[in-house]
Structure 1
Amino acid sequence: MSDAFDHDVVIVGSGFGGSVAALRLAEKGYRVHVFEAGRRFEDDDFAKTSWNLRRYLWAPALGCFGIQRIHKLPHVLVLAGAGVGGGSLNYANTLYRPGDEFFTDAHWPEGHDWRGELDEHYDEATRMLGVVQHYPHTGPVERIMKGAAEDLGVGDTFRHAPVGVFLGIPGVRTADPFFGGEGPERTGCTLCGNCMVGCRVGAKNTLMKNYLALAERRGVTIEPLRTVVDVRPLPGGGYAVTTKRSGSWIRTTRTVTAEQVIFSAGTWGTQNLLHRLRAGSLPRLSPALGTLTRTNSEALDGATTVRVPRDAGLAEGVAITTSFHVDERTHVENVRYGPGSNAMSVLATELVNGDRPWPARIGSLLGRTLRAPLRALRLATPRRWSERSIIALVMQTVDNSLTLSLTRRFGIRMLTSAQGEGEPNPTYLPGAHRASRAIAARMTQETGVRADARGSWPEVFGIPMTAHFLGGAIVSDDPQHGVVDAYHRVWNYPGLHVVDGSAVPANPGVNPSLTITAMAERALSHWPVRGEEDARPAQG
């Protein structure tokens, strides 16, 4: 490393990959600077409910600097995170390890026992993220999920979810319980249900409570509201990293230099930036960029009652608490928002089968509405939606993918998608519909109020939603099959690295945050201590 650069390492993004990189490199003596496009949040800064759009949604050009990103592609609607701490700010704290089929997928680089190599790093990620292996509370939602699994004949697959939350004594502040007092003070979870709007209590184990807090204590600097717009190789080595203020209508830029750059902006952010760089400053990036982009083969459906059940408490608890498998490759979890957080209800509608063209689906939807207009109105109203709904998050380990590329529309360069390798990315999941109907039936039985299975408006038009966008810059044996090698080093550009969800080569079929963290831990464990010789094999 050379002191001629402003920083030894610049990290683009502060999510699960970037946070691990920041801490582990600081521990190895590197001078690390993190650029984050989103803003920094203290606990009290988060929105009280999802209706506070300026603090909840990410739309900086419109003055919204919240934690929830929404991006649309022709084949999927992507939900992602924003802010210092990335997706940990608005994810549901759910930290599963994937099954064996994930590690035996043919797209992993050869010559590695990936399950064996990652095991110790999953253990470390579990410790750092403070995982409680089994959510300890049972209420009406947990009983409904268990009953739905039994009704579907898969009751043996039901389990309580592993969650990254400090349960403690509800509402009671205490000294750091995880890192021997080195981390921030914490407050016990109050089961308010608003994990995905931003935890104002301080119970959620976001990256600001572990990796980033510890990294800053070791000298890492984090600069929020800076969007990276260019990474340019310098003569003789190293890179110039140019940023602009996020959301600024005036393109005033600033440039710093670094010997190493790590792309950790999340799958959407990293792909968006790399595609633009491939068309500009980094033309030798792999032609495989954008291929094998995954959606976790995902759908978001669920069930809603026509009115709020008396004393049911459907909105009370951590965001995700249980799961079961409809079949060997389809995994279902319950999801909740807290009381008052009803903004996402605008995406919900009747559940319609996706095996017909979208005009037929619209016709079916209109027919149901006309047959029972009052019921349709009561189901569709956002009023107290979170207190009468269970969202079904459904994921699969199916080998399907999209291919992303850069296109130009109305004079603006933007990402677009096409069907990729493997099975077509599904427009709807029959297993998700079966699960939603079973949940609705058990919900009716548990609450005494009629519940209906619900889908989403994007799904009506053949566009599924995913909160787990992955791949597109995957680990690989060579630059023809992926963007980085097995150690997350970018092919053809020494000193560049990708450490986030875009490096994941397969659909895990479970929430991917623990996997992204474990892969990042493995990648950074191979970095040398600053000033020592690099023991990693040279790229072939």
Structure 2
Amino acid sequence: MNSPRVSRRSVLRGAVLGMGAAALGPMTLGQAAAGAAPPGGKTAVVIGSGFGGAVAALRLGLAGFETTVVERGRRWPIDPAGNTFATLDQPDGRAAWFSDRPYINPLTQFQPIDRYAGVVDQIAGNGINAVYGAGVGGGSLVFGAYTPQPRRQDFERVFPRELDYGELDRVYYPRARAMLGTSPLPADLLAHPKYKGARAWLADLADFGTAPTFNDFCIDWDLVRAELAGTRRASVTVGEGPYGINSGAKNSVDHNYLPRAEATGNVSVLPLHEVVDIREVQGSNKFEVLLKQIDERGTVLGHTRRVADYLFMAAGSFHTSALLATAKATGALPRLGDQVGQGFGNNGDFLTSRVLTRRDYGAKQAGPGVALVYDDTDPAGPVSMSWQAAPFPEIAGGNTTTNLVQAITAERGSIDYNRATGRAELNYPHGEGGELDVQASRFAGRFHELADTRHGYPANGIPVYTRLAGFGSAATYHGLGGMVMGKACSLEGQVDGYPNMFVVDGSLIPGAVGLVNPSLTITAIAERCLDHFVAAHG
């Protein structure tokens, strides 16, 4: 009969063979093949299970660290009957993190729902609302499945010059794509009648006069084909996504990184555990983490403490920054520096919608998208715009599009501890009409006009920007920063003042990634951080 260690090695070898050397990377492959035991019994706690936390879990597990992943949300296993998640037009408690009302869809925002450990959390900030995922898989559960790589020139306008884009391009972006299973929309699906919205968007780009840049998406297209064949519940093909994909077609990290991490035998995931407090253990470099265990209705089941040699923060830009800003203000982590909570940005996001277009985009639009367009002619700097499929009602669907404009802007906010309330808060002092709004709305208006008039059609598209309708820069799915590399952390994520604490999520990013969605870049940079950590500590 095998010992526990031998059994762990057997599981690990199977996981390694299934993953392949390209996905594992050069440093972790040898360690994985050896089935490494915890080096000196070293332990790690990872707070959060999204893109960065899942990378940390896998790489720590392969390196042999006894690792606990703490996640405040529940697991969301795909129900074969197709009823795992709520839908945009019929939200229920599964749609929101302990809220009386759902988020995202303005048509249902006043509908009452039960308070539940739902999948979408919205932080109502002072000046902006930021949306995050809640569940095992974090933001990967609710993101739009866009996984583009930024252009070098845009990346280098944002990140510290010491961070080598060439290295990311050669090593870490390909590794992240391989692990997440990303690919562009296949030609056969683009030609399908359900994808007339994607074809209409490409036609609009042609009318504007700029070639499209085709996106990668974190989607299993075979399951999308199964949706079209009627053997899986329609989700991607009817514009769903923000509350999760019921067909299972979204390659969220609970489908790849996390199960492979657990298969090492060194990683445990604790769902429905909220972090209450983080503090240093006096006389050592260890950390003590106080956890509150809850059930799906929010009832407190108990409290527990974890002590770890290494702490990896991966709770998302707001929650990672809020935990550390609170620990600094209360004296629990007194060595944290003055840059904690600073540099929050919205990735240059500016949401628009266009109605009364001359093309029929369809109502329940099959997606998630198809391509983006760059414009480098604006004197204020480059911008991009992409199309997002959406499940519009029939009364408005065919004549409505949703577009995300992204610009590079210096506008930044902060996550600050408010002593009066005893809580951290998001402050973003850039209202409607700021630098981002001016540049993004100028491009959106020019695009909507030229895509029509350049080819002899009347300019009948009416772009909507107003924050009153939830558009413009009123909200973001892509909140970044708060523990910015080169300021609060090193380029490898090590926190200033704490050699055994690392940040590996979107809070490490300097407010933007450069005109594209940040998921792939967060994953790639987390992979780089963990390679450096394992090389130094493994």
What letter corresponds to residue 17 of structure 1 in structure 2?
G
What letter corresponds to residue 198 of structure 1 in structure 2?
G
Contact kept? 1:240, 1:256, Cα under 8 Å:
yes
> In the aligned structure 2, how far is the partner of 1:67 from the partner of 1:38?
7
* CA shift for structure 1 position 404: 3.1
TM-score with structure 2 setting the length: 0.76
Identical counterparts, % of pairs: 26
What letter corresponds to residue 515 of structure 1 in structure 2?
T
Instruction: Give the paired residue count.
Output: 462
Label 1:316 to 1:496 Cα distance change in 2 as closer, same or farther (>3 A): same
Aligned residue in 2 for 1:147? 203
> In the aligned structure 1, how far is the partner of 2:118 from the partner of 2:216?
26
Label 1:385 to 1:243 Cα distance change in 2 as closer, same or farther (>3 A): farther
- Structure 2: any 5+ residue segments left out of the alignment? 1-36, 101-113
Aligned residue in 2 for 1:483? 488
Label 1:269 to 1:458 Cα distance change in 2 as closer, same or farther (>3 A): farther
> In the aligned structure 2, how far is the partner of 1:100 from the partner of 1:120?
15
- Structure 1: any 5+ residue segments left out of the alignment? 174-185, 341-382, 477-481, 536-540
Deviation larger for 503-512 or 13-22: 503-512
> In the aligned structure 2, how far is the partner of 1:101 from the partner of 1:333?
19
SS at match of 2:533: coil
> In the aligned structure 2, how far is the partner of 1:97 from the partner of 1:308?
29
Aligned residue in 2 for 1:378? none
Contact kept? 1:278, 1:284, Cα under 8 Å:
yes
Aligned residue in 2 for 1:397? 408
Aligned residue in 1 for 2:280? 233
Aligned residue in 1 for 2:8? none
Q: Which structure 2 residues correspond to residues 53-68 of structure 1 after superposition, within 5 A? A: 53-59=92-98, 63-68=115-120
Describe the superposition over 1:422-465 as per-residue Cα deviations: whole angstroms up to 9, x where unpaired: x96634522453167349969xx99x9x7643234447898532
> In the aligned structure 1, how far is the partner of 2:300 from the partner of 2:260?
35
Aligned residue in 2 for 1:323? 372
SS at match of 2:365: coil
1:81 pairs with one of 111, 133, 136: 133
> In the aligned structure 2, how far is the partner of 1:170 from the partner of 1:502?
32
Aligned residues: CA RMSD: 3.6
Aligned residue in 1 for 2:341? 290
Contact kept? 2:343, 2:510, Cα under 8 Å:
yes
1:167 matched to 2:221? yes
Aligned residue in 2 for 1:201? 247
> In the aligned structure 2, how far is the partner of 1:212 from the partner of 1:495?
23
1:267 matched to 2:273? no
TM-score with structure 1 setting the length: 0.76
What letter corresponds to residue 471 of structure 1 in structure 2?
G
Aligned residue in 1 for 2:9? none
Q: Which structure 2 residues correspond to residues 436-455 of structure 1 after superposition, within 5 A? A: 437-438=448-449, 452-455=462-465
What letter corresponds to residue 317 of structure 1 in structure 2?
A
Describe the superposition over 1:168-209 as per-residue Cα deviations: whole angstroms up to 9, x where unpaired: 265549xxxxxxxxxxxx999862321222111111111111
What letter corresponds to residue 31 of structure 1 in structure 2?
E
Describe the superposition over 1:25-71 as per-residue Cα deviations: whole angstroms up to 9, x where unpaired: 11111111111111211123211445323111223686232222222
Contact kept? 2:48, 2:71, Cα under 8 Å:
yes
Contact kept? 1:470, 1:503, Cα under 8 Å:
yes
Label 1:107 to 1:305 Cα distance change in 2 as closer, same or farther (>3 A): closer
Label 1:21 to 1:460 Cα distance change in 2 as closer, same or farther (>3 A): closer
Aligned residue in 1 for 2:537? 534
SS at match of 2:499: coil
SS at match of 2:173: helix
1:243 matched to 2:291? yes
Deviation larger for 494-503 or 411-420: 411-420
SS at match of 2:172: helix
What letter corresponds to residue 97 of structure 2 in structure 1?
W
SS at match of 1:518: helix
2:171 pairs with one of 120, 127, 135: 120
* CA shift for structure 1 position 267: 0.6
Deviation larger for 462-471 or 328-337: 462-471
Aligned residue in 1 for 2:261? 215
Contact kept? 1:325, 1:331, Cα under 8 Å:
yes
> In the aligned structure 1, how far is the partner of 2:120 from the partner of 2:260?
25
Aligned residue in 2 for 1:254? 304
Aligned residue in 1 for 2:59? 24
> In the aligned structure 1, how far is the partner of 2:334 from the partner of 2:464?
45
* CA shift for structure 1 position 489: 0.9
